[in-house]
Amino acid sequence: ETSSGYLVQLTAQRRTTPKLYHSSQGFLRAVAAALDALAPPGLAESWDNVGLLCEPSPPHAVRTLLLTTDLTEPVLDEALARGAELVLAYHPPLFRPLRRLTPATGWRDRLLLRAAESRVGLYSPHTALDALPRGVNAWLAAALGASTSSVPIQPSTTLTYPTKGSHRVEFVVGQAEQLEAVLAKVQKIPEVSSIVTLPARAEGEDQTRVSLNCTEKAMQDVMSLLSQNGLYHMTEILLLQKPLLPQTGMGRLCKLSKPASLSALIERIKNYLKLSYVRLALGVGKTLESQIRTVAVCAGSGRSVLQGVEADLYLTGEMSHHEVLDVVGNGISVILCEHSNSERGFLLELQDMLVTHLENKVNIIVSEIDRDPLQLA
């Protein structure tokens, strides 16, 4: 992602991707491609910055991959001490556009410089990992109990249209000469494809129905042409929707098979996340013994995903003071686990997934230093 022409990914000059594995190690570019295949960057939110963010100049072998929620100086120290050539940081350590990269610019810049100088690659999956059927949100939803069913709150669609073009234009032409002339001009419009003609009968006369696919930009040229030829009133436009991906998307709306009290769910969640405490805001008119049937779940910061969702309870990492007031005012209780506490436990799941996905050719380790910055004092 770029803004005002400034680069937000640090990558060396591209070269041909080698075989994924050589002996007992992987090449960085190929390992990154395998990570992309596991959590496709196209599933990430549009504002996010995911994928390979910092690439030491090739060739760069990867024998050990360290997983962390946040890349901090202690975590980078740990990665170097444990011999990691690649760090997968769930939160992108390189997020905002850079105008300069110097040791004096800030702690994140110092981290990036030190990682590059130490030849440690940086990769982040972030919201692409959230969206997966077995991703972060599905993992967090499991805190509610094994018999809970869930669906994505914001479903993801396939990454490409099933056909070329985003729109289908259909129109009817009566005279053969006009049909031939219109088709000749339509075929010259860029980004028009899949032109099909079928016999049709309209207004008691034999005519020809023309169907074509095109981009939104090309549609304007097509409609201008049809208007010039008096065919505008005989035209239909269809938006080609991308199919939904099963169980893929942001957040989860969960239905408990058997209602449970709020106090019981709090204990389940604390045990699952291995936390000694969570923060609770009771919905107006609700108590700890109120029965919970539906729970809206979003790992991390849940405002944008959970906003307006009807449920008995919201489970997320963090929300602002006023966001919580808005929710509880509508009678919905809120459980906050702290931002990264709602995500960190998934790293152990991810470790198992990557061992299989990378065919046990790369040593996958989880940071022992990484922790939420907020502690009870």
CATH number at residue 262: 3.40.1390.30
Parallel/antiparallel/unpaired status of strands 279-281 and 333-336:
antiparallel
**φ, ψ (nearest 5 deg) of residue 142:** -65, -15
Domain count, the chain: 3
pLDDT at position 96 is 87
What pLDDT, on the 0 to 100 scale, is given for residue 160? Answer: 79
Query: Does residue 120 form part of some domain?
Result: yes
Q: What is the pLDDT of residue 25?
A: 55
Give residue 97's pLDDT: 86
Would the annotation count 126 as a binding residue? no
Which structure tokens are listed for 77?
């120290």
Cα distance between residue 155 and residue 241, in whole Å = 13
CB 169 within 8 A of CB 237: yes
Q: For residue 197, what is the domain's CATH number?
A: 3.30.70.2750
Round to whole Å and give the CA distance between 295 and 256. 8
Does 272 lie in the same domain as 144?
A: yes
Residue 130 annotated as binding site: yes
Ranges of residues in the chain with a pLDDT under 70 are 1-26, 162
User: Closest Cα to residue 278, out of 251, 307, 318?
Assistant: 318
Query: 343 among the known binding-site residues?
Result: yes
Buried b / exposed e across 173-193, counting CB within 10 Å, b at 16+? beeeeebeebbeebeebebbe
Amino acid at 145: G
Contact between 259 and 305 under an 8 Å Cβ cutoff? The reply is no
The domain containing residue 139 runs over which residues? 132-155+248-340
Tell me, yes or no, whether 136 and 254 share the same domain: yes
- Examine the domain organization and report whether 78 and 190 are in the same domain: no
**Token pair recorded at residue 70:** 């946040």
In a domain, 13, yes or no: no
The answer to whether residue 160 is domain-embedded is no
* Whole-number pLDDT of residue 241: 87
Do 267 and 141 belong together in one domain?
yes
Q: Does residue 7 fall inside a structural domain? A: no
Which residues, 6 or more positions from 231, have their beta carbon under 8 angstroms from its beta carbon?
171, 172, 173, 182
**161 within some domain:** no
Do both 58 and 178 map to the same domain? no
Are residues 140 and 263 part of one domain? yes
Same domain, residue pair 141 and 286: yes
Q: Is the same domain home to 140 and 281?
A: yes
Bridge partners (DSSP) listed for residue 237: 169
Q: Clarify whether residues 216 and 269 are in a common domain.
A: no
Q: 18 lies in a domain?
A: no
pTM of the model: 0.83
In degrees, to the nearest 5, what angle opens at C-alpha 240 toward C-alphas 235 and 246?
160
The answer to whether position 376 is within a domain reads: no
Q: What is the pLDDT of residue 346?
A: 98
Backbone phi, then psi, for 329, in 5-degree steps? -65, -25
222 falls within a domain: yes
